[in-house]
Amino acid sequence: MGSAEYIKRLIENAKIKINPEVRKAALSELINELEQTKNADSVKLKPNIGRTIMNSKILKLAAATVIIIAILIGINQLSNGNAAFADVIEYFQKHSYTFDLEGLTMKPIHAMVWEMGRIRIDYPPAVEVGDYSSITDFNNGQTLLLFHQDKTAVMKKEPAYKSLGTEEIISLCTRPIAELWNVLDGAEEYLGEKVIEDQRVSGFRISKENQNFEYDITVWADFKSGLPVMVETITKSFDKSYPTITTTMENFNLDVKIDENLFSLDLPPEYTLAYQEDLENLEVDTKLSVEAGKIVQMLDLALEDRKEEAIEVLLEIDWLKPIEFGKEPYIFSISEKEYKALKAEDQKRVDEEVSADQTIIREISEDVLNLGQKAVDDQQYEKAEKYFNAGLQLGKLLEQNPNTMVIPRLVGLAIERNASKEMIQLYTIINDNEKVREAQNQLSKAEAEVDKIREEAKQINQ
Amino acid sequence: MEDKLLIWKLNRGNKDALCRIYEKYRDNLVRIAAGLVNDVSIAEDIVQEVFLTLIRSSNKHEIRKNLKGYLTSCVINKIRNLNRKKFTQNPVSLDDIEPSTSASKTPDECVGCDEEYRNLYSAIAQLPHEQKETVILHIQGKMKFREIAQLQGTSIKTTLSRYNYGLNKLRSLLNSEVEKWDPQNI
């Protein structure tokens, strides 16, 4: 025992020679790293679904491919010689048409083209996004993305197809028809005839390239009418890391009436335009009430490591009086809709604040429930009820407004459930059946609300 | 709670919070690492990497309860990875395995410490890694056996047994010094 104690003390007292210069230099390196991380963070946008999709190959390629088809229909007609190219172009400028596009997503994409200038693509449901649509105006490059489950919209003013280098193709659409003749005349290769699903078709191939991509496009068109039956595109990047993408367009419906409203770039009334608003401009029409001020004080105290005082303040709150917050803390003031509308950097700021506050609230609620349990052990039932009720009310405060941010609401519901369970036990001990039932109802209500939120989330993810 | 506040501030890029965390934990982490790798320079590098990882981590807010435990675990994991890497890069037969690669160093090459402790570190270096880890974490890291067991993925009994075996082995390795020990001198 004695010698073991000696070794223990020897290890405890062991000093190593730490070079103060090395120590200082190491700290300096860390500070530099922190500064760099801070700068990077300030420009790094929070990853978000809309942005990811806007930048995805799907949209870029869908946009580019659809423009290409409009040109190809013309090429086909030109080569076949059955109809004047100008007539065909005119037809497409005056008519709407639809087609299915395969190869870019697991399921075919349904696309609708309206008057040559606008296209709407309805995408199959994607993970975490649900189903969504894009509406692009090729005249100015604007694209409106609509996320239907979430009722959120993203407006992208810069052309989504810009990085594909397809501007020259876009511009062709808006130039006089005569120019199209000059540019495309003789570019195609005749592939002969074949039969696709009992339909006699003629084939043409055209290869085009720009600084980034090489396109190999094959058009199969009806032998008599010259209208397209199937179009295959192979897009190869000169950058080898970019995969070769093969798409097939078919099921063309060239005689279709489409609701023009489907192509509107105006924000639908029930949708929120994301990533537009400044946090500073956010307006709140309520002011901090006295009791809400105590909640703010509680958060501040807890943040300063004065948890006991924070709990004392929490217990002083009169929950029957109005509890209204001003603009801050954001955890109580910002709605999910307002959050989505914020610019990405402001969303990040709100995330940080809310995350810190909800951590503190969760810990304080755990502490008050523990204090309540201790009071139950000591048979101080009134005191226990006060603690449990404080936890319950704190949970309710977070979840009572269905418009507030989802994650804090879930935290609030979890607190409410835990407090209700404690209350059921307490009231069972003191044989207060009415209050047991009340607490049970409270628990069921909170659990039902959690299920509802989960169900909504599941639907979005499907 | 103070650690949580520091992490929250660090998450917001607060330089003072970083300095505070560094002052509070750095030296002890270096001591723990040095005890395990038997080399102060390597220990300092490991701890520096751990701090860099902490700064770069985007999930700092998830370190809610125990910053010290988190940093210690990171140091331990880095050392384990280092040992694994060494073993993978220089595969040896079972017959060639020595208790520690650093144990073959002379006391002078060992941890940069006062002379009286060089023999201690040299002896620690000869312990099997799990025993060494348990002894260092419990005595220098002030970690509870339960926490060490959790970190090592073993039962508390195994951890206790490793600790006792480790201390016994150190006792026999440092036999002469132990005999000279007089509790009054401490």
Q: Are residues A299 and A263 in the same domain?
A: no
The predicted model gives B45-66 an average pLDDT of: 76
The predicted model gives B140-161 an average pLDDT of: 82
The Cα A243–Cα A235 span in angstroms is 9
From A239, A272, A305, the end of a domain falls on A272
> Which parts of A187-226 are beta strand (E)?
189-196, 199-209, 213-222
Q: State the pLDDT at residue A253.
A: 82
Nearest Cβ partner for B40 among A17, A29, A34: A17
The Cα A195–Cα A283 span in angstroms is 64
Q: State the pLDDT at residue A210.
A: 63
The Cβ-side half-sphere exposure at A294, using a 13 Å CA radius, reads 18
Which A residues in the span 412-431 are in contact with B, Cβ-Cβ below 8 Å? none
Q: State the pLDDT at residue A445.
A: 93
Q: Are residues A200 and A151 in the same domain?
A: yes
To which H or E segment does residue B166 belong? helix B156-173
For B120, phi then psi, to 5°, come to: -60, -50
The Cα A427–Cα B131 span in angstroms is 51
The three-class DSSP label of residue A350 is helix
Q: Are residues A284 and A255 in the same domain?
A: no
Domain-located, residue A10: no
Q: What end-to-end distance do the CA atoms of chain A give, in Å? A: 64
Residue B115 has pLDDT above 70, yes or no: no
**Region of poorest pLDDT, from A41-45, A150-154, B92-96, B181-185:** B92-96
Nearest Cβ partner for A16 among B30, B52, B183: B30
The answer, yes or no, to whether ipTM is higher than 0.85 is no
CATH number of the structural domain B2-90+98-175: 1.20.140
Q: Are residues A114 and A262 in the same domain?
A: yes
From A254, A272, A290, the end of a domain falls on A272
Q: Are residues A84 and A193 in the same domain?
A: yes
Q: Are residues A310 and A389 in the same domain?
A: yes
Q: State the pLDDT at residue A381.
A: 93
Q: Are residues A323 and A179 in the same domain?
A: no
Q: Smallest CA–CA separation between A427 and chain B, in Å?
A: 32
From A242, A272, A302, the end of a domain falls on A272
Q: Smallest CA–CA separation between A124 and chain B, in Å?
A: 32
The answer to whether the CB of A117 falls within 8 A of the CB of A264 is: no
The answer to whether the CB of A363 falls within 8 A of the CB of A306 is: no
Q: Which residues of B touch A359 (CB under 8 A)?
A: 4, 61, 64
Q: Are residues A150 and A268 in the same domain?
A: yes
Q: Are residues A178 and A291 in the same domain?
A: no
CA distances (Å), B35 to each of A6, B130, B170, in order?
17, 13, 13
- Cβ distance of B22 and A35 shorter than 8 Å: no
Structure tokens given for A259: 């609701």
Q: State the pLDDT at residue B3.
A: 77
Q: State the pLDDT at residue B86.
A: 60
Cα B122 from chain centroid?
15
Domain-located, residue A8: no
- Cβ distance of B171 and A9 shorter than 8 Å: no
Domain-located, residue A449: yes
Q: Are residues A281 and A268 in the same domain?
A: no
Q: Which residues of A touch B181 (CB under 8 A)?
A: 2-3, 6
Q: Are residues A267 and A313 in the same domain?
A: no
CA distances (Å), B98 to each of A27, B101, B102, B121, in order?
35, 7, 9, 16
- Cβ distance of A30 and B136 shorter than 8 Å: no
The answer to whether the CB of B117 falls within 8 A of the CB of A15 is: yes
Residue B63: count of CB within 10 angstroms of its CB: 19
The answer to whether the CB of A136 falls within 8 A of the CB of A296 is: no
Q: Which residues of B touch A27 (CB under 8 A)?
A: 19, 22, 26
Q: State the pLDDT at residue A390.
A: 96
Q: State the pLDDT at residue A38.
A: 65
Nearest Cβ partner for A33 among B8, B30, B55: B55
Domain-located, residue A11: no
Place of tokens 């995408």: A123
Q: Which residues of A440-460 are buried (b: 16+ CB within 10 A; e: fewer)?
A: eebbeebeebbeebeeeeeeb
How many domains does chain A contain in total? 2
B42 touches chain A (CB under 8 A): no
Q: Are residues A312 and A196 in the same domain?
A: no
Q: What is the span of the domain harbouring residue A331? A: 277-461
Q: What is the CATH number of the domain that holds A411?
A: 1.25.40
Q: What is the CATH number of the domain that holds A115?
A: 2.50.20.10
The answer to whether the CB of A427 falls within 8 A of the CB of A399 is: no
Would you write out chain A's pLDDT as a tens digit for each of its 462 residues?
456 777 788 787 776 777 777 888 888 888 888 887 766 544 333 333 333 333 343 444 444 445 444 444 433 333 343 433 444 445 555 667 788 888 766 778 888 887 656 778 887 776 555 678 888 776 776 778 888 877 888 777 765 444 444 444 333 333 332 233 233 434 567 787 899 888 888 777 777 666 666 777 777 777 776 677 887 878 777 777 666 777 788 888 877 788 888 989 998 988 888 777 788 887 777 888 999 999 999 988 887 778 899 999 999 999 999 999 988 888 998 888 888 788 877 887 787 788 778 888 988 999 999 999 999 988 999 999 999 999 999 999 999 888 888 888 888 999 999 999 999 999 999 999 999 999 999 999 999 998 888 776 655 444
Domain spans in chain B, listed from the N-terminal domain onward = 2-90+98-175
